[in-house]
Amino acid sequence: MLLVIDIGNTNIVLGIYDREDLLSFWRFATDQGKTEDEYGIMMHQFLTLSKIPITGVDGAIISCVVPPLLATFEKACQKYFSVRPLVIGPGIKTGMPVLYDNPKEVGADRIVNAIAGYEKWKRSLIIVDFGTATTFDCISSKGEYLGGAIAPGLMISSEALFRSASKLPRIELVKPPSIIGKNTTHSIQSGIFYGYAGLVDRIVTVMKKEMAGNLKVIATGGLAPLIAPESETIEEVDAHLTLRGLMILYHRNRLGVDL
């Protein structure tokens, strides 16, 4: 079985694959203060609670955008699962041309998403990832990574608002009962929720004009289920896109198999 680890700025997502089947997954807050022992024990507990045998894990792969945590998880995998993880970075065989001015600038998670999306749909795509930042990634019909856009994420924008406007309360990020808020909480929810739906639709619409062709627009990330239903351009949500991309890259690099 394969342990896939996606380390983001806000959350870490783990998944366990048996060949191409995702058996289980877990999401928890990113904490740079935790040690390899703490993370190793956490991963052990997740698998145990899901009744997945620890000894069945014979491979691991990591995508990380938080450099201080990379070595932590590498050590945890070696110490608690006796596997040397494959790390997404320079030298990894992706099978996808990256048409960026400097390909090294593209975040590992964005390339992983692009590969998973193209392998699943085999057509030109726009992938919207609702993470710490909201990213838009464009993939051509030939399977080329064209580039994209980066906007502040919903949580970042919300926190900036609360910090800068001391009288505004922290609120839950949910769809308000009406776009016309009748109180401060609903007014903030309205601005954030409908504002982000509009941001997504405007960026995707302009990208479609530049890319042309028969495009598919998909969304992923923790907050995708919140915004996608209100978006006029998002066609489908794939919550496990990044995990699947990691699984594909592990097979491609360690096992020499294209799925």
Mind telling me the catalytic residues?
109
Q: Are 228 and 17 in contact (CB under 8 A)?
A: no
- What is residue 223's DSSP assignment? T
- What CA–CA distance (Å, rounded) separates 253 from 39? 25
CA-CA distances (angstroms) from residue 69 to 7, 39, 110, 128?
Answer: 8, 10, 18, 25
Sheet holding 2-7, edge to edge: 21-29, 11-18, 2-7, 59-64, 86-87
- What CA–CA distance (Å, rounded) separates 182 from 147? 41
